[in-house]
A and B are shown apart, each in its own frame.
Chain A
Amino acid sequence: MKFIQEKPKAGVICNYGMIDHFRSSYISLDFILPLSAENATGMSLLAGVLSRGSENFPSMDVISRYLAENYGASFSINAGKAGEMEILTFATRFLDNECAIDGEDIRAAILTLLQEIIFRPLVDKDGFFEEYVAQEKQNLADKITGLFNDKRLYALEQCKALMCADEPFGVCELGDLETLKTFNRQTLYRFFQNMVNNAQIVITYVGKEEGDFLNSLADGFAERASSVPEAILRDAPPKVQEIIDPMKLNQSKLNLGFRLGPEAQKNGAACRLFNVLYGGSANSKLFMNVRERLSLCYYCSSAMDRFKNVMFVASGVESEKYEQARAEIEAQLKAVAIGDFTDDEFQSAKSYLIDSVRGMLDSESALAASIISSTLRGEMKTIEQEIKEIEAVSREDLIAVAKEIQLDTVYFLKGVQNGE
């Protein structure tokens, strides 16, 4: 894999991740703003409104038909958070030109679509179309209230929001209903213009075609102050925050939120390795103990946000097993922190992580996501370099990460039956 990064102007970065074994390619364009209720809500609403069409692609079915004609290309607009950044992503995957039956230039057609959607949205003198904004406000409101439908996700979101109630990270990536009310077609259009002119921009290509074709997108942007929003890092409070919410459910959802320390920030490879060993794989401490040894759950796993330097453990258990499951999850963290894991477990975690990293070469979207993450950290690493770093991690490095981890918040969505 070859990795080329260009900075055609301040605040605008173009990445080319070169892999040559697939017959398809991927292009994404990311707008990055600091995470706040306004930015999360505005970007989520834009994801809906911009997908409705542009001057030359005036409705959704026109876009879909264009994608089908271009050999089943996919196109999506999504807003999401990473640490304390809100990112609006335009992503597309498409077949390489060599496969076009009549010699069409598929890549050029896809770049045209991206330019259209981003630079020529459907507007009149007052802003976006009233009808589209009203409908997409309703759709976003449905999405925000619909978070409740998936109880696993809902419980995790609750845990994040309660742990970081007065930090930007506590903001839901979809935004919130109160802020949504403040947007109308004029204010949303102003928000859009502000985003286009001031957000950090990362444009990423993954595929095999050489060239500087991403400039056709970069050219549309003015230069801007170059600064990636940084997350606030905090320690856990002296006393663990515990919240128990009863709900009529068959299964209770247990979530634990942890703060990571400076070692995790300093040694990214050791931090990722810790996660694999502790709860990030089917061979992890959590899986092997909470599930396999104690039969307490079907799933129990950990995941990190490395920009925010936090970790969340999620599991589904019986209501009356709350204490036991929580104690075991905490005990396994202590075990890792005192070095109570075998060399086999340590080597397995390395193999697992290296396999995951190498496997990204077969997924254009995963590779692009990894390139974008590195870009936002100000790093430029190929897959091979990442693997070398993982290989170099020692047991002591991993223990150093584990030792600093502090439990901050426990959120228990407690399943109760009628009458309880």
Chain B
Amino acid sequence: MIQSEIIASEAIHAEYEKITHPSGLTVYFMHKQGNAKKAAMIAAKFGSINYTFSTQDGRQVTVPNGTAHFLEHKLFEGEQGNAFDFYAKTGAKANAYTSNDKTAYYFICTDRFEENLDVLLSFVTHPYLTNENVEKEKGIIAQEIKMYEDEPGWQGYFTMVQGLYQNHPIRRDIAGTVEDIYSLTPEILMDCYRTFYHPKNLVMAVVGDVEKETVLVALDRYFGDVADLEFGKMPIEEPLESGERYVEKAMLVSKPIFHIGFKDNETDVKGFALSKKEMEVEILLEYLFGKSSSFYKELYEAGLINGEFDCWYDLSDYFSFCVINGESNDPKKVEECAFAHIALLKEKGIDKDRFRAIRNGLYGSIIMDAEQSYGMANRLVANNLNGAETFDAIDALQQITAEDLLARAEKMFAKERSCLSVIQPIKEEE
């Protein structure tokens, strides 16, 4: 039996449907009349943090770093050839990505949606792993790894994450090292596939000017009745404090690059509470460090930061932290100012006018983002995997009070749970 529920938001005049397929697969469907682009995404709750697990036949398996990412590459290959060959016939743009906690496959097209959906589902449900094609992929992924090794932005971010967390598997490199991936075999990859690509551990979203029936018919073709499985949450023992307060690395850059991380002291929030928390943090980040903040103005005018500045929130049901990132000749001073502004907020409270303006801004951004087929599909999938419902954020936004924000700031921003990472310039050796 297909179960389905309509999730509507009156505030933004939009709705989508959440469907549970008999196989256990959760599917989101959002009809966007008039959109040229049609997007479909399917994701497994399997990322770089899932390095040790028990298989369906009860073996405990530990896999090298980079395994989830390697499998992502390999699911583009089938007995009949490369998935790109099939997408190419319709002109669709297809890709995939692996993060700490998920692997997502998608396509975006303007025509022949049904054929493309068929390609997506057929490749994701039919792994084709041979010694030859696994070997062939190693050269490609080795170059992907080396590309990231030379990217200061990624290195600075990842160094920060490793300083912020002590035991958490988020410290594991998503792509692994070249040595890690050279140890991979088709057997290891199949163990992962059988464990994590069960329909109950997958979620899918379709957004665009598409008929729902098309999607349901395709699902029945690829997902039959399978044995029900329970996917529990992996236990993680992580102290509240950050492992390091300061970390650095030297690279060929023109100016120091900093990332300041703030680790949340609250995990295990789900559902509406998670959406509300996400909105609280978004408001706080703009309030404290965004381009409308006095922090940004003061530091920019003092030449401590420049236009290369950003702050964001990384959230999953396994981790939650904020990041401030930019370039500065004095990253320690930037960190000091950040904490001074956090202290000031706690002391002075929330300015009602700024709070209202930021809330308006977020509301507008949510409507604008919801217009995009791919962006919306990605959001529906990511929120579901985190245990949240996308439109809850809009209702949550209306409910948030100044007191909520102050309480959230206490939980989110503390010195002992922060880490400053700096990429220092080295001079090129002749």
Please list the residues of chain A having a beta carbon within 8 angstroms of any beta carbon in chain B.
Answer: 20-24, 48, 59-61, 64-65, 67-73, 93-95, 99, 101, 131, 135, 138-139, 142-143, 145-146, 148-152, 247-251, 281-283, 287-288, 291-292, 295-299, 316-318, 344, 347-348, 350-356, 358-362, 415, 418
B interface residues with partner A (beta carbon < 8 Å): 12, 32-37, 82, 84-85, 87-95, 108-111, 136-141, 143-144, 146-147, 149-153, 252-255, 257, 286, 290-294, 296-297, 300-301, 303, 306-308, 327, 354, 357-358, 360-365, 367-368, 371-373, 428-429
User: Given A72-B368, A149-B253, A351-B90, do A362 and B36 touch, yes or no (CB 8 Å)?
Assistant: yes
> Which B residues are CB-close (under 8 A) to A317?
143
Bound state CA distance, A415 and B150, in angstroms?
10
Instruction: Write the nearest CB–CB distance from A69 to chain B, whole angstroms.
Output: 5
CB distance from B404 to the nearest CB of A (A): 19
How long is the Cα–Cα vector from A131 to B303 in the complex, in angstroms? 11
Contact B88 A71 (CB under 8 A): no
In the assembled complex, the Cα of A418 lies from the Cα of B430 at a distance in Å of 10
Which residues does chain A contribute within 8 Å of B95, judged by CB atoms?
282
Q: Which residues of A contact B150 (CB under 8 A)?
A: 151, 249-251, 415
> Residue on B with the closest CB to A292?
B82
Assess whether B84 is in contact with A282, with CB atoms less than 8 Å apart.
yes
List A contacts of B292 (CB < 8 A). 61, 64-65, 67-68
| C-alpha gap A23/B14 in the complex (Å) | 12
Task: Known pairs A20-B34, A250-B150, A281-B88; list 7 more (Cβ under 8 Å).
Answer: A64-B290, A142-B255, A143-B306, A251-B146, A317-B143, A355-B109, A359-B93
Residues of B within 8 A of A352 (CB): 88, 91
Question: Which of A72, A251, A297, A351 is packed against the most chain B CB atoms within 10 Å?
Answer: A72
A interface, over-half SS: helix
**Closest B-chain residue to A251, C-beta based?**
B146
| Interface contact A149-B152, CB-CB below 8 Å | yes
Asked whether A282 lies within 8 Å of B296 as measured between CB atoms, the reply is no
> Are the CB atoms of A355 and B361 closer together than 8 Å?
no
In the complex, the answer to whether B252 meets A249 with C-beta atoms within 8 Å is yes
Q: Are B146 and A135 in contact (CB under 8 A)?
A: no
Distance in angstroms from B187 CB to nearest chain A CB is 21
Asked if B147 and A148 make an inter-chain contact with CB atoms under 8 angstroms apart, the answer reads no
Cβ-neighbour of B33 out of A21, A64, A281 (below 8 A) = A21
Contacts of B12 in A (CB 8 A): 99
Q: CA–CA, A291 to B136, complex, Å?
A: 10
- Minimum CB distance partner of A145 in chain B: B254
- Given A248-B428, A250-B150, answer yes or no on A135-B368 (Cβ-Cβ < 8 Å): no
Q: Which 10 pairs of residues, A with B, have the shortest CB-CB distance?
A: A71-B364, A21-B34, A295-B139, A351-B91, A355-B91, A72-B364, A68-B361, A64-B292, A283-B88, A72-B361
A26–B136 Cα distance when bound, in Å, is 45
Report whether A251 and B147 are in contact in the complex, using a CB–CB cutoff of 8 Å: yes
B94 engages A361 (CB within 8 Å): no
User: Quick one: closest A residue to B93, CB to CB?
Assistant: A355
Given contacts A21-B34, A69-B357, A146-B254, contact A139 B88 (CB under 8 A): no
Q: Are A362 and B33 interface neighbours, CB within 8 A?
A: no
Ordered by A's residue number, 29 sampled pairs between the chains whose C-beta atoms are within 8 Å are A21-B35, A24-B367, A24-B368, A60-B300, A61-B292, A64-B290, A65-B354, A68-B358, A71-B360, A72-B364, A135-B303, A139-B307, A145-B254, A146-B255, A146-B308, A247-B252, A247-B428, A250-B146, A282-B84, A297-B140, A316-B143, A316-B147, A317-B143, A348-B88, A352-B91, A354-B111, A355-B110, A359-B108, A362-B36
* Contacting residues, chain B, for A142 (C-beta < 8 A): 254-255, 306, 308, 327
With A248-B429, A348-B89: A358-B36 Cβ-Cβ less than 8 Å = yes
Bound-state Cα–Cα, A360 to B37, Å: 9
B327: min CB distance to chain A, Å: 7
Given contacts A68-B361, A71-B361, contact A61 B373 (CB under 8 A): no
Point out the residues of chain A lying under 8 angstroms from B297, CB to CB.
59-61
Asked if B253 and A148 sit within 8 Å, CB to CB, the answer is yes
Chain B residues with CB under 8 A of A139: 306-307
Which of B36, B136, B252, B294 touches A248 (beta carbons < 8 Å)? Answer: B252
A residues less than 8 Å from B308 (CB atoms): 142-143, 146
Report B259 CB to chain A, min CB distance, Å.
14
Residues of B within 8 A of A418 (CB): 429
Shortest beta-carbon distance from B66 to chain A in Å? 13
Known interface pairs A142-B327, A359-B36; A23-B367 also in contact (CB < 8 Å): yes
Residues of A within 8 A of B153 (CB): 149
A358 touches B111 (CB 8 A): yes
Least CB separation from B112: chain A residue: A351
B294 touches A61 (CB 8 A): yes
* Distance to closest chain A CB from B289 (angstroms): 12
Among A69, A283, A359, which residue has its beta carbon within 8 angstroms of that of B84? Answer: A283
- Nearest chain A CB to B323 CB, angstrom units: 18
| Chain A proximity of B330: nearest CB distance (Å) | 14
Q: Is the CB of A99 within 8 A of B36?
A: no
CB distance from B344 to the nearest CB of A (A): 15
B62–chain A nearest beta-carbon distance, Å: 27
Residue in B closest to A151 when the chains form the complex, CB atoms: B150
Nearest residue, chain A, Cβ from B365 = A72
In the assembled complex, how far is the CB of residue A108 from the closest CB belonging to chain B, in whole angstroms? 16
Asked whether, in the complex, the Cβ of A316 is within 8 Å of the Cβ of B306, the reply is: no
Nearest residue (CB) in A for B362 is A72
B307: chain A residues within 8 A (beta carbon):
48, 139, 143
Contact A69 B360 (CB under 8 A): yes
Measured between beta carbons, the chain A residues less than 8 angstroms from B90 are 351, 355
> A283–B84 Cα gap in the complex (Å)?
6
Q: Which of B37, B293, B303 contacts A362 (CB under 8 A)?
A: B37
Chain A residues in 8 Å Cβ range of B365? 72
Chain B residues lying within 8 Å of A72, measured Cβ to Cβ, are 360-365, 368
Complex Cα gap A163–B7 (Å): 56
Task: Determine the chain B residues whose CB is within 8 A of the CB of A22 once the complex forms.
Answer: 371
Contacts of B364 in A (CB 8 A): 70-73, 94-95, 99
> Does the CB pair B92–A355 fall under 8 Å?
yes
**CB-based nearest A residue for B295:** A61
Give bound CA distance, A283 to B89, whole Å: 10
* Measured CA separation A22–B286 after assembly (Å): 26
Q: Is the CB of A68 within 8 A of B327?
A: no
The reply to whether B360 and A354 contact each other, CB–CB distance below 8 Å, is: no
Bound-state CA distance A297–B138 (Å) is: 10
How close is A137's CB to chain B, nearest CB, in angstroms? 11
Bound Cα distance A246, B412 (Å): 45
Chain B residue numbers with a CB within 8 Å of A64 are 290-292
How far apart sit A297 and B143, CA to CA, in the bound complex (Å)?
6
CB neighbours of A94 from chain B (8 A): 364
Partner of B138 from the list A143, A295, A353, A360 (CB cut-off 8 Å) is A295
Contact between chains at B327 and A69 (CB < 8 Å): no
For B147, list chain A residues within 8 Å (CB): 152, 251, 298-299, 316
- Contact partners of B34 in chain A: CB under 8 A: 20-21
Closest to B294 in A: A61
With a CB–CB cut-off of 8 A, which chain B residues contact A248? 252, 428-429
**Bound form: Cα–Cα A392–B286 in Å:** 50
How long is the Cα–Cα vector from A138 to B34 in the complex, in angstroms? 46
* Best-buried of A71, A352, A353 by chain B (most CB within 10 Å): A71
- Given contacts A69-B360, A72-B364, A282-B84, is CB(A295)–CB(B108) below 8 Å? no
Q: Which residue of chain A has its CB nearest to the CB of B94?
A: A282
Q: Which residues of B contact A355 (CB under 8 A)?
A: 90-93, 109-111
